[in-house]
Structure formats: structure tokens, C-alpha cells
């Protein structure tokens, strides 16, 4: 059985935690422990978020030489390598002798995607509103509220093609645990002559992971985050978890476009196109979500 598992940024770095290497390693170690039982029984492809990390790298670059700051596509590549290294090492420690590889993954997007005109993807740390507005003025950022604070927002175009897909398929066939499409992958566009170039944006990890799962013809697609299920009426006194649903039933409901919305959209599209199973829930419940005993399971009927 082939599983594609997307680790949410909040599963690797919880809200309010410091962006330190040791904290991230500790969280990745917990993620590896949760994924090890799945990896023992199934082929496993892992993707992950990178919002806090790519935002931190952007801040560090701006603090050093603002006029020489690296664009987001390069920062996306850096975070893919950094987080992939931690996941690969901790998975290897949990499963001695099992091969694991991190693959930097280019994802093609449309240069005419309307997302470039309407940035909405939050990256980096949370700020108090006054500080966020000051940074926006000084650095030309777009900002938006996110939970109890404010964050920088950037363009998040829809993924069209995963360019390293044939390599991922070869690795999976050889029994390798693959870490790829981290942070939604490295966004690239195709020039008129067919060549590729990176573009300033961050692709939504859930949408890219859903595309990856569909193109790999995965048997199941899990999105693991810090919320135990998809909720009907989230944020209200009447909130209740949705334990099992079809794409049609979920599409009749509304979800926050900045958090659960992309996960529900990715799950629905995966199930509708493949007939396979998608699941959403917490990292420590990964095996139970797959078995339909926890989280939210999305099925064709």
C-alpha cells in the first residue's frame, strides 16, 4: 500500500514555539515516531509544511543585506533541504536499515495565476498588529490576521505539475521512504522557450501534496496537523467533529480558507479523482486515521 503523508507546519513547529533548531528536531523526532509504524507496513512518501521556516529565513536575509535578499523560490529550496534532512535522519534512527531520501522538488505553476495579484499564504512568525503594520510599511509586505496575531502573506499559486515525479516513482519502487514536495515544492514557471525559472511565491503544501498523491496513484492520502478532525461549526459552541464524509457532503460546508479549507479541498479532490481514501487529523493519530478510528476520513461513498 502506498501512503502519501503531509505533515502540517504546525505539526512540526507548534504555535508560539521558538524557531530553534533543537525545538524543530524534537518535534520531527516525535513525527518520525508516529510515522514509523506506517513505514514498517507500507510504502511511504512524506511531504511537509515550511511556513514558519521560510518566513524566518526571509527575515534573516532582510536583516543582513536587504538589497541582496534571496527570493522565495530559493528559500523554499533551502527549507526543503533543512526539514528533509531532519525528517530523513530521525526516520533512519527509528528504522535502522530502512532507506530514506530527501528530494528537492520543483513544482510548475502558471505565471498568470490570480494568486500573484492577491497574496494570501501566511509565512513567518506571528506579530502584534502594530509591529506587523510597521514591518509592512518598511519592507513592502502584505500582512493579514492569523489567530491571535498578524503574519506576512505571500502569493500561493495552484500547483500544476510535479517535475521530479518520475524520480519519486523510481525511489518508491525501490522501497525508499521519500521526503519530497516540502513546503509545497519549489515554485517554477515555464518560459516561452520551454526553460524553467523560479518564481516568488510559496505553494500551499496541502494542494501540492494532494497533486503528488493523485499523480503517484496513492492508496491513501493523510494530512496531519494540530487539529484532531475537520469540524462542522468550528469556533462555535455547536462545533462537532466530522468523522466520515464524502467529497459532496464536505463541499456543501464552508471552511477557513487560511487553515482547514485547503486540506478539505485537497482531500475532496484526491478522493473524487481516485476513489481512494483521504484522512485529516493529528500526527499522533496517524495509524488510527488510516484505520478510520480517529480524525476525519473522506471516502467516495
Judge whether 27 counts as a catalytic residue.
no
**CA–CA separation, 122 and 158 (whole Å):** 15
DSSP assigned state of 110? -
Judge whether 217 counts as a catalytic residue.
no
**CA–CA separation, 161 and 210 (whole Å):** 11
- Considering the candidates 27, 55, 263, 285, report the single residue annotated as catalytic: 263
- Considering the candidates 27, 49, 182, 205, report the single residue annotated as catalytic: 205
DSSP assigned state of 219? S
- Considering the candidates 8, 10, 84, 184, report the single residue annotated as catalytic: 10
Do 187 and 126 form a contact (C-beta atoms < 8 A)?
A: no
Q: How large is the angle between the packed helices 205-215 and 260-274, nearest 10 degrees?
A: 10
- Considering the candidates 51, 121, 279, 285, report the single residue annotated as catalytic: 121
Q: ∠ CA 171-176-177 to the nearest 5 degrees?
A: 115
Judge whether 205 counts as a catalytic residue.
yes
Do 280 and 265 form a contact (C-beta atoms < 8 A)?
A: no
Q: What DSSP string runs through 13-63?
A: S-TT----HHHHHHHHHHHHHHHHHHHHHSEEEEEE--HHHHHHHHHHHHH
Q: Tell me which residue of 8, 24, 22 sits closest to 184, measured CA to CA.
A: 8
**CA–CA separation, 36 and 247 (whole Å):** 29
Cell numbers 461549526 correspond to what residue?
233
Q: Tell me which residue of 208, 221, 196 sits closest to 165, measured CA to CA.
A: 208
Do 294 and 278 form a contact (C-beta atoms < 8 A)?
A: no
How far, in whole angstroms, is CA 133 from its chain's centroid? Answer: 27
User: So which residues are the catalytic ones?
Assistant: 9-10, 121, 205, 263
Amino acid at each position: 500500500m502506498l501512503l502519501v503523508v503531509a505533515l502540517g507546519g504546525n505539526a512540526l513547529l507548534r504555535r508560539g514555539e521558538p524557531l530553534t533548531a533543537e525545538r524543530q528536531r524534537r518535534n520531527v523526532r516525535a513525527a518520525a515516531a508516529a510515522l514509523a509504524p506506517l513505514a514498517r507496513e507500507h510504502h511511504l512518501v512524506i511531504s511537509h509544511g515550511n511556513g514558519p521556516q521560510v518566513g524566518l529565513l526571509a527575515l534573516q536575509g532582510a536583516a543582513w543585506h536587504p538589497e541582496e535578499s534571496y527570493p522565495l523560490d530559493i528559500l523554499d529550496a533551502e527549507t526543503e533541504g533543512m526539514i528533509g534532512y531532519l525528517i530523513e535522519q530521525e526516520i533512519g534512527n527509528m528504522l535502522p536499515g530502512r532507506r530514506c531520501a530527501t528530494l528537492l522538488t520543483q513544482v510548475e505553476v502558471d505565471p498568470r495565476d490570480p494568486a500573484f495579484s492577491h497574496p494570501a499564504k501566511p509565512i513567518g512568525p506571528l506579530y502584534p498588529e502594530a509591529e506587523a503594520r510597521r514591518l509592512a510599511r518598511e519592507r513592502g509586505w502584505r500582512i493579514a490576521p492569523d489567530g491571535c496575531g498578524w503574519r506576512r502573506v505571500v502569493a500561493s499559486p495552484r500547483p500544476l505539475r510535479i517535475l521530479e515525479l518520475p524520480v519519486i516513482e523510481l525511489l518508491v519502487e525501490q522501497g525508499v521512504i521519500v521526503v519530497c514536495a516540502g513546503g509545497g515544492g519549489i515554485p517554477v514557471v515555464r518560459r516561452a522557450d520551454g526553460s524553467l525559472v523560479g518564481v516568488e511565491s510559496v505553494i500551499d503544501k496541502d494542494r501540492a501534496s494532494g497533486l503528488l498523491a493523485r499523480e503517484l496513484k496513492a492508496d491513501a492520502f493523510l494530512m496531519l496537523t494540530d487539529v484532531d478532525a475537520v469540524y462542522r461549526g468550528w469556533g462555535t459552541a455547536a462545533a462537532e467533529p466530522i468523522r466520515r464524509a464524502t467529497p459532496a457532503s464536505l463541499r456543501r460546508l464552508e471552511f477557513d480558507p487560511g487553515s482547514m479549507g485547503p486540506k478539505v479541498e485537497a482531500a475532496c479532490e484526491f478522493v473524487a479523482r481516485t476513489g481512494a481514501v483521504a484522512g485529516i487529523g493529528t500526527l499522533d493519530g496517524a495509524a488510527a486515521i488510516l484505520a478510520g478510528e480517529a480524525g476525519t476520513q473522506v471516502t467516495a461513498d
